[in-house]
Amino acid sequence: MKLILLGPPGAGKGTQAEIWKEKLGIPHISTGDMLRQVLQEDSLLSRKVKPFVEKGELVPDEIILEIIENRLSSADTKIGFILDGFPRTLKQAQGLEDLLKGMNKQIDLVLYFATSIEKIIERLRGRLVCSQCGMNYHLKNMPPKKEGVCDKCGGRLSQREDDREETVRKRIEVYLQQTAELIEFYRAKGILHTIDANKDAQEVYKELVLLFGKKGFNLKSNDFHKIGERTESHA
């Protein structure tokens, strides 16, 4: 299965992606994670990316698409993948479509996590991020085993500056402006499914179990996963 997860910051995409990568046996591909990985490398691609990041500028679409192409060429994407955080604009979506055509692949389903601004602010107030590995936690919904410490790597957990209310509102406004055409693009193709992401993570998960079952996707397990419980692979 080849999935795209769309939705504003705090919509719950990352939580569901981490669960479903195990259920479906496919990688969760986050553009943020990929950029951080590229920046740690000594490569031509890294040298292309660094000037933009150092200046605080957006990395151009053609470079992002090059990073995506490299990642989707990996062996672990053969049976599918979950794209999280990409595409962000109509231009990126069109570029991705051309890229996938050249690889003889196509997107099966686009999930749009529709969420109210108030719900997003409520969630992000409690979000914590590991300073070392980038793992996300939530004080209420998905707390770490030890307060302030990442289960996965032992790094320090803190709230991101861009999770503060004023910044969040601006980010959501920008996101909605950028993605309006993108959502219509996938709706016209008949592969967009809107999720009411104002529901808690467990309810969203159950909705996806039913949706994927109807689509005939092969799940590794039909048992409901309890949100907030971490398997060894999540820790």
Chain center to CA of 4:
8
Least Cα distance to 70 among 52, 90, 43, 50 occurs for 43
Residue of 48, 105, 119, 160 marked active site: 160
The answer to whether 230 is a known catalytic residue is no
The answer to whether 88 is a known catalytic residue is yes
The answer to whether 171 is a known catalytic residue is yes
- Rounded Cα–Cα distance for residues 77 and 103 (Å): 12
The answer to whether 123 is a known catalytic residue is no
Residue of 2, 71, 88, 123 marked active site: 88
End-to-end CA, the chain: 24
- Rounded Cα–Cα distance for residues 24 and 22 (Å): 6
Residue of 2, 13, 71, 123 marked active site: 13
Residue of 171, 187, 206, 230 marked active site: 171
What residues form DSSP beta bridges with 81?
2
Tokens linked to 220: 């590794």
The answer to whether 71 is a known catalytic residue is no
CA angle 198, 201, 207 (to 5 degrees): 85
**Which positions are annotated as active-site residues?**
13, 88, 127, 160, 171
